[in-house]
Amino acid sequence: MVYRRRSRTAVQSVVEPHGLIAAGRSWYLCASHDGDIRFTRLSRIEEAEVLTEECPDDSGFDMTAAWQKRREGFLETFEAVTATVWVRDDRWSDVQEWTLRATMTDVDDSPPDEDEWTCLQLEFMDHLHAMTILLRLGPDASIVAPEYLRQDLINYLKRTLERCQDDSA
């Protein structure tokens, strides 16, 4: 098969397929290559050819366990971020879909304005995930804590505004 790596370079490999794994909206080919188990996103496979040679017997292979091990290793590479955020009530379903976890919490601060807001403890996979979701929520979210995340979002928006103003000159 020929597939593209994240770096966009094309690689050709002969693999011994074990099966397919669905993860969210993506599908992965679980296959052995030179004795290693690999998971390749199907959308990155550009060409595939079925060869006439038979693959070795894999009846003792536990694809689910291999996937779980790979997934756990992947998730360990992230540093989780938890934030306390006021979120407009009409964005509740978005927050549930986009974050790892969203739970109601109490704070001493008042909501940003008179509209209907709920204070939530939001859990994100990492800093990039937090920034992406908070930007997506836009004015429908107000960060209470941590302060560094609030400041990072403000600085990012300032740089974006400066870039847009420079480009329009």
CA 151, 156, 159, 165 torsion-angle sign: negative
How far is residue 136 from each of residues 36, 129, 155, measured CA to CA in Å?
39, 11, 16
Average pLDDT along the chain: 92
Task: Find the distance separating the first CA and the last CA of the chain, reported in whole Å.
Answer: 49
Closest to 10 in 3D by CA, of 41, 49, 40, 44: 44
Q: Residue holding tokens 């909206």?
A: 25
φ, ψ for residue 52, nearest 5 deg: -80, -25
Which tens digits make up the pLDDT trace of 85-115? 999 999 999 999 999 999 999 988 888 888 7
Q: Per residue in 124-140, pLDDT tens?
A: 999 999 999 999 999 99
The residue count of the chain comes to: 169
What integer pLDDT is reported at residue 105 of this predicted model?
A: 94
Write down the architecture of domain 81-167 according to CATH.
2-Layer Sandwich (3.30)
Q: Are 107 and 119 in contact (CB under 8 A)?
A: yes
pLDDT band of residue 60 (cuts 50, 70, 90) is confident
* Closest C-alpha among 45, 2, 46, 38 to residue 17: 38
Parse the chain into domains and list their residue ranges: 2-51+58-75, 81-167
* Predicted pLDDT of residue 168: 64
What DSSP string runs through the chain? Answer: -EEE-TT--EEE---EEEEEEEETTEEEEEEEETTEEEEEEGGGEEE----SSPPPP-TT--HHHHHHHHHHHHHTTS--EEEEEEEEGGGHHHHHHHSSEEEE---SSPPSSSS-EEEEEEEESSHHHHHHHHHHHGGGEEEEE-HHHHHHHHHHHHHHHHHHHHHT-
What would the mean pLDDT of 79-90 be, rounded to a whole number?
96
